[in-house]
Amino acid sequence: MSESVINMYSDTVTKPSPAMRQAMANAEVGDDMGGEDPTVNRLEAMAVELFGKEAAVFACSGTQSNQMGVRTHCIPGDELLIEERGHIANFEGGAPAAISGISCRTIRGRFGMLDVDDLIGKVRVDNQHLCVTKLLCLENTTNSGGGRVWPLEQLKRVCDWAHEAGLKTHLDGARFFNAVIASGVSPAEIAAGFDTVSICFSKGLGCPMGSILVGSTEQIHRARRIRKLMGGALRQAGIVAAAAIYALENNVERITEDHANAKAFAEALAGTDGVIIDPVDVESNLVFFSIDPDLGDAMQLSAALKERGVRIGGMGPQTLRACTHLDVNREQVLQAAEIVKDCIATGFAQYPKKPFGPFARA
Ligand SMILES: *Cc1c(COP(=O)(O)O)cnc(C)c1O
């Protein structure tokens, strides 16, 4: 892909910066499976401190750390509760069922978030006909819900309710630091109501890979065994943990820019005939907008944009999702908005209609 492409398809498209690569090259390493990689150990210690939990374990991906979290709380036959658009239920290849024998009970919420009223009555009674409801999974920020940031009060209310109902709680924090920056709430406070929290280093933090799961000493001990079983226990992983440490030290505060750029992109598009968008809905680095069906569908617009050097993917038949991240700047997002407006003005109905699938490639 040429460098002139403005890639707002995902915040996973970022490439490690020269300084991050230098940190990786300089990393001290050892055999992590034996607990002997000093850089992984340092990263895990940083996470313990930052999240206010007892223990942490490095993982390959957000999917892996989510599934490690899920598996530590449940046994085959159990059920987890999740908002219907949640990543764990929709975009992890059916892993709860495939890896752990767990069913997902999906619940309709708002913008990917739930409140206590949505959950009351969803914990099954103890009866041999029924599966055991064990776990509640939440997402902050929400992905398919539109990059929403949970209000702290709501997060506390829902987690308290879950614990009173005898459930464990897991947070899918793929964009945890987007939530931290957008809300101004500390990592430990956001994590407080959760038994386990997973975060991704490969999204807004700009690393090539990596994730971490935090929780109690006992949970993380179990999670390590599960990581091994999933093929995710690594050796000289300090090479990638060094990127994560670099990101925690250098790439967190700058997320403010991504959020401002997302807002600027939304504001530039707002008011365009045929585009449905309200900049007020943009709370973090994800911008969802819809187009009038009379003009064409989301994948047609996505194809037109790709030809003009802008990558923005479809997230619904008429809905697109644009992401800001550390590899797109203000000038580029404003240029992208102009190109979207231009495609709308000149028409894009000539592009072939394709059946829409979630996360269809732009
Ligand atoms: C990206 C993402 C993950 C992790 O996905 P990977 O493909 O493993 O990087 C988990 N949850 C959410 C909400 C995500 O957006």
Question: How remote is the CA of residue 211 from the centroid of ligand 1, in Å?
Answer: 10
Answer yes or no: is pLDDT of 80 > 90.
yes
Task: Annotate the chain with three-state secondary structure.
Answer: CCCCCEECCCCCCCCCCHHHHHHHHCCCCCCHHHCCCHHHHHHHHHHHHHHCCCEEEEECCHHHHHHHHHHHHCCCCCEEEEECCCHHHHCCCCHHHHHHCCEEEEECCECCECCHHHHCCCCCCCCCCCCCEEEEEEECCCCCCCCCCCCHHHHHHHHHHHHHCCCEEEEEECCHHHHHHHHCCCHHHHHCCCCEEEEECCCCCCCCCCEEEEECHHHHHHHHHHHHHCCCCCCCCHHHHHHHHHHHHHCCCCHHHHHHHHHHHHHHHCCCCCEECCHHHCCCCEEEEEECCCCCCHHHHHHHHHHCCEECEECCCCEEEEECCCCCCHHHHHHHHHHHHHHHHHCCCCCCCCCCCCCCCC
Give the residue-averaged pLDDT of 233-252.
Answer: 98
Question: How remote is the CA of residue 174 from the centroid of ligand 1, in Å?
Answer: 5
Contacts of 211 (CB under 8 A, 6+ apart): 58, 59, 60, 61, 62, 64, 65, 198, 199, 200, 201, 202
Q: What pLDDT is attached to residue 234?
A: 96
* Residue among 9, 65, 200, 240 whose CB has most ligand 1 atoms within 8 A, to mutate: 200
Q: What pLDDT is attached to residue 3?
A: 60
Answer yes or no: is pLDDT of 1 > 60.
no
Q: Rounded distance, CA 243 to CA 204, Å?
A: 13
* Residue among 9, 63, 104, 196 whose CB has most ligand 1 atoms within 8 A, to mutate: 63
Question: How remote is the CA of residue 62 from the centroid of ligand 1, in Å?
Answer: 5
Q: Which residue in 144, 174, 148 sits closest to 316, CA to CA?
A: 144
Q: What pLDDT is attached to residue 353?
A: 86
Q: How confident is the model at residue 341 (pLDDT cuts 50, 70, 90)?
A: very high
Question: How remote is the CA of residue 42 from the centroid of ligand 1, in Å?
Answer: 24
Give the residue-averaged pLDDT of 210-239.
Answer: 97
Ligand 1: which residue has its CA nearest to atom 2? 174
Give the residue-averaged pLDDT of 195-218.
Answer: 98
Which residues form the pocket of ligand 1, taking CB atoms under 6 Å from any ligand atom? Answer: 61-63, 66, 87, 139, 143, 172, 174, 200, 202-203
* Residue among 58, 142, 143 whose CB has most ligand 1 atoms within 8 A, to mutate: 143
Q: What pLDDT is attached to residue 47?
A: 98
* Residue among 60, 87, 142 whose CB has most ligand 1 atoms within 8 A, to mutate: 87
Q: What pLDDT is attached to residue 86?
A: 97
Answer yes or no: is pLDDT of 2 > 70.
no
Answer yes or no: is pLDDT of 362 > 80.
no
Segment 82-108, tens digit of pLDDT: 999 999 999 999 999 999 999 999 999
Ligand 1: which residue has its CA nearest to atom 9? 62
Return mean pLDDT, the chain.
96
Give the residue-averaged pLDDT of 285-302.
Answer: 96
Answer yes or no: is pLDDT of 207 > 50.
yes
User: Does CATH place domain 254-346 in 3.40.50.1820?
Assistant: no
Domains 16-250 and 254-346 share a fold: no
Segment 137-153, tens digit of pLDDT: 999 999 999 999 999 99
Answer yes or no: is pLDDT of 357 > 70.
no
Give domain limits for the chain.
16-250, 254-346
Q: Rounded distance, CA 169 to CA 81, Å?
A: 10
Question: How remote is the CA of residue 12 from the centroid of ligand 1, in Å?
Answer: 9
Which amino acid, residue 319? T
Question: How remote is the CA of residue 293 from the centroid of ligand 1, in Å?
Answer: 29
Segment 4-22, tens digit of pLDDT: 899 999 999 999 999 999 9
Residue-wise burial string across 202-213, b where 16 or more C-beta atoms lie within 10 A, e elsewhere: bbbbbbbbbbbb
Answer yes or no: is pLDDT of 359 > 70.
no
Answer yes or no: is pLDDT of 360 > 70.
no
Specify whether the CB–CB gap between 288 and 8 falls below 8 A: no
Question: How remote is the CA of residue 91 from the centroid of ligand 1, in Å?
Answer: 8
Give the atom of ligand 1 at the shortest distance from the alpha carbon of 63.
8
Give the atom of ligand 1 at the shortest distance from the alpha carbon of 202.
9
Question: How remote is the CA of residue 89 from the centroid of ligand 1, in Å?
Answer: 11
Answer yes or no: is pLDDT of 64 > 70.
yes
Question: How remote is the CA of residue 63 from the centroid of ligand 1, in Å?
Answer: 6
Give the CATH number of domain 16-250; options: 3.40.50.720, 3.40.640.10, 3.90.209.20, 3.30.70.20: 3.40.640.10
Ligand 1: which residue has its CA nearest to atom 4? 62
Q: How confident is the model at residue 33 (pLDDT cuts 50, 70, 90)?
A: very high
Q: How confident is the model at residue 354 (pLDDT cuts 50, 70, 90)?
A: confident
